Chain A
Amino acid sequence: MPNIVIFVDFGSTYTKAVAFDIDEERIIGQGLSESTVSSDIAIGLKSALQQLESNAQQKCTKEATMRLACSSAAGGLRLAVVGLVPNLSLKAGRMAALGAGAKLVENYSFKLNHSEIVQMEQASPDIILLVGGTDGGNEEVIIHNAKMIAGSNTRASVVVAGNKVCADDVTNILESANKYVKVVDNVLVSLDELNVEPSRAAIREVFMNRIVHAKGLDKAGELVDGVIMPTPMAVLRAAEVLAMGSGREDGLGESVIVDVGGATTDIHSIAHGHQKDFGILMKGIAEPFAKRTVEGDLGLRYNALSIVEAAGEVRILRNGVRPESLTELRDKAKYLSEHVETLPTSQIDFRLDNWLARIASEIAMERHAGRLEQIYTTQGPIYKQTGKDLREVRNIIGTGGIFAHSSEPAKILEGALFSNEDPLSLRPQSPEFFVDRRYILYAIGLLAESAPEKAVRIGKRYLERVSRETGSD
């Protein structure tokens, strides 16, 4: 009897399922169906599982010893960060929330005012991450903000990760207004100590124990044992375990994941990104080893036009579009933004999708990666680095529908690479290319919770290595 485990991803458009034979460490079936979160999530799930069983040619759902899910459905995990200084605690809070797979709906710095509270009520986040003040630092602002949140109509759970000195006061203020509160260690202990893990864990816990129910994701109760994390967190977990390995199974080394979707482009980097030379000066607060960024303006459908706009003419022309075709490109992208269900059918359609994905990868990676800046001192020029130096990252992995279907995934990933046109942008220089053809990274992340070694091996087995086309660029 094979030992079967099933993993499910409730996406906003599709519900995906995959079954592994965990002893043989292989995929035995996959299924896909349209998501049905707005009515009954179980309908779409059942149909995905049926498809899975039919191509696995055996009963999986009943036999499975473990059935776990992640979700980005029902709007994803909507989170607002309330912090103090934009470049310090607010930034630390944002990085922690993104690393927990959240979708950031609002950010606020300094003392909240009434109109911001109204705006936040309208944005209706599932979670508010309340930070501010290093340990022993500012107390006034986080206490003020706790009072403002306490006085608001928000039903969001509040994760508090600010100055420990006033953590008890903040908790009391929020609890006496009947808000659900979870307190963890400060996300910014001191200016040189970023501490994202406790916030990530708390956000995940609140997601599992409260949000899943609130969004009706637990209606699939008989078919899955639990929805245990937001999908982007599962992908980040997969990236971590694949890069670092586990137990006796070696990882691939420092890696970057490029996830180009219909609405957003996510970049995950698992890398220290320290400066490569002692002469380079590091600026700004540290960034997490496992870092995720989300570009809300770069997506192949909802934000197709916005990709063209973000690219600008110079970049577009540099990427092979003739000046006389600019208007046509813009019109086509606009059409895709307005008809998001469009699937490519012709060679021209595919080419456009690939082109958009390449540009999205390029811009998203530029924003994610660190940057050097040359400055002139009285002792001569030196370099200042902000963010992570990813030039020596060993692997770059593409995931998302475009990579599952594209005939030229390498061309898309090449967009994310270091370029002599902008040598101060610290993007990967000569990584190996991999593609998540089977669309299973989320499952690798979910499996890593209980069997990380197996997760690494299965991930390595099913990631497809693609070669860079010679002569391009």
Chain B
Amino acid sequence: MGVDNKLMGTVVTGVIGEDVHVVGIKIIERALNDAGFKVNSIGAQVSQEEFIDAVVETNADAIFISSFSGHAAILVRSFRDKCAEAGLGDILLYIGGSLLLKEELWEEVEKKFKGLGMDRVYPPGISPTRVLEDLETDISLRRRVSK
């Protein structure tokens, strides 16, 4: 691996719920991996509990949730609370994809998911570079706070 993966951080990635669309998350996983993150991909059809288990074992900094079904608002309900319950109160939660069935203004969508405890919310077609920049900022901010 060469690079110390502690430098960049560790993430857990997966597609939440009854969804099987892995294309979007694969692109993000590739970008994260190339940027020197340790990526723990747990595939499709992932439950909240499986995401949490994976973070506990890998000590990840962030969870990347992908969703295409349009049911994301239901699927991530209480996710933040469950993380807190598992001792992962400060885990970064990123979500992206086709999140709602109903067309809404992006600002509304973002607001809705932030209200559900997500730290970052991305529409389909987001550039991985943007996501990486956000992640680096968020992680360094957390680390500064925790020190």
Contacts and interface: CB of A to CB of B under 8 A. Distances in A.
B38 A136 contact: yes
Given A375-B45, A377-B19, A378-B70, A134 B53 contact: no
Interface in A352-396: 375-379, 382, 384
Given A375-B18, A376-B18, A382-B20, A88 B69 contact: no
A136 B20 CA distance: 29
Interface string B29-71: 0000000001011111100000001101111100000000111
Contact of B18 (A137, A188, A191, A378): A378
Interface string A7-32: 00000000000000000000000000
B6 A188 contact: no
Nearest to A87: B53
A188 B71 CA distance: 33
A375 B18 CA distance: 8
Given A88-B54, A137-B57, A190-B38, 16 more contacts: A84-B56, A84-B57, A87-B53, A88-B53, A88-B57, A133-B59, A136-B58, A136-B59, A137-B10, A137-B58, A190-B40, A191-B58, A376-B18, A378-B69, A379-B20, A382-B20
A157 interface: no
A192 B39 CA distance: 10
B5 interface: yes
- The dominant DSSP class at the B interface is loop
Contacts of A138: 56-59
A426 to B, nearest CB: 18
A152 B20 CA distance: 47
Contacts of B44: 281
25 contacts: A84-B56, A84-B57, A85-B54, A85-B57, A88-B53, A136-B6, A136-B58, A137-B58, A137-B60, A138-B56, A138-B57, A138-B58, A190-B40, A191-B42, A191-B54, A191-B57, A191-B58, A281-B44, A281-B45, A377-B18, A377-B19, A377-B69, A378-B18, A378-B69, A379-B20
A254 interface: no
Interface string A180-196: 00000000101110000
A282 interface: yes
Interface of A: 84-85, 87-89, 132-134, 136-139, 188, 190-192, 281-283, 375-379, 382, 384
A375 B46 CA distance: 13
Contacts of A134: 40, 57-58
Contacts of A375: 18, 45
A139 B59 CA distance: 8
Contact of B43 (A132, A190, A282, A377): A282
Nearest to B5: A136
Contacts of B53: 85, 87-88
A282 B53 CA distance: 17
